[in-house]
Structure 1
Amino acid sequence: MKSLFNSEAHEEILSRVNQLSESSERQWGKMEVGQMIHHCQYPLKIALGKHNPNNKPSLMLKLMGKFFKKSLYNDKPWRQGLPTAKGLKVVDDKNFEEEKKVLVGLINDFHNEKTRKEWDPHPTFGSFTREQWGQMQYKHLDHHLRQFGV
């Protein structure tokens, strides 16, 4: 599985983000491209300790999280149309260029943490290794970039 900590995967993701434009059209789902770019910032912010979701996960969500945890970083692509966690949904319009600049900065910030040993647990899924964090971030970005055909 590719990892956002790997330099080649990092450059690939940045290249794909830069292929997006304000007129990029989704191939599935409900988000417009600016909303998707904003949504993709949340997992990176969570990993970097820059976002802590206000809503605490329910016991049911935590139990389901344990069941789905490995799918966050394994080699199998996520299927189209998966539901978005309530606290990570983006429904208002977003400025594409501004959001893209923020996302690129977060991707670079995350990649620059590649030697970091200790990571705070995810608020829903618990602890991940450094490798799992890198794989999960790559997989999430890949999923949404494929959503917009890049």
Structure 2
Amino acid sequence: MNWKNLFDENETQQTIERINNLTSETKGLWGKMSVAQMMAHCNVAYEIVYTDKHPKPNAFARLMVKLFVKNIVVGDKPYKKNSPTSPIFKMTTEKDFEVEKKRLVDHLIKTKELGPKYYNGRNNPAFGSLTDEQWNTLFSKHLEHHLTQFGV
């Protein structure tokens, strides 16, 4: 499947427009997260790149993730509904809709502005070095899954 190129101005803007169609009352078509939790969950993928907020997996965990998860995350196939997630992505407390929405849009803009050269060969703490295409798939596929989950 071809995922949106989030390094492209138009495709980033299309994704932002979908996010802007969400409201604090938007309900998911599956799963347990609120819309605010979903956006906080999506923000974790960007926090891994832009902050040191989340713990890095140990060597054994990295090996297991590379062997069993990496191809699911950066591969072409869409995620299945109700797929398991890493503990750092689990949202167990309520989140502020407007705060998470602004953060998500800001992350998309920053990613587009930094461009593919910034990401090509950049290390992911769980998966190791990724190409810019793999980073784009990681971000784009994840957003597609959750924006579809919330009907936008």
TM-score past 0.5 threshold: yes
- The Cα shift of 1:57 comes to 4.2
**Contact 1:57/1:123 (<8 A) preserved:** no
Tell me the amino acid that sits aligned with residue 110 of structure 1: T
User: 1:110 aligns to what?
Assistant: 111
With 6-15 and 24-33 compared, the bigger mean Cα shift is at 6-15
**Contact 2:56/2:125 (<8 A) preserved:** no
Identity of aligned residues (%): 33
Aligned match for 1:35, one of 28, 34, 37: 37
TM value normalised by structure 1: 0.88
Matches within 5 A, 1:59-98: 59-60=60-61, 62-98=63-99
| Greater RCO, 1 or 2 (C-alpha within 8 Å, sep 6+) | 1
User: 1:21 aligns to what?
Assistant: 23
- The Cα shift of 1:11 comes to 1.5
Distance 1:109 1:26 in 2: 27
**Contact 2:44/2:88 (<8 A) preserved:** no
TM value normalised by structure 2: 0.87
Pick closer, same or farther for the CA change 1:106–1:83 going to 2, 3 Å: same
With 56-65 and 138-147 compared, the bigger mean Cα shift is at 56-65
Distance 1:132 1:55 in 2: 19
Show structure 1 runs of 4+ deviating over 3 A. Answer: 117-120
Give unpaired runs (5+ residues) of structure 2. none
Count of residue correspondences: 149
1:137 and 2:139 aligned: yes
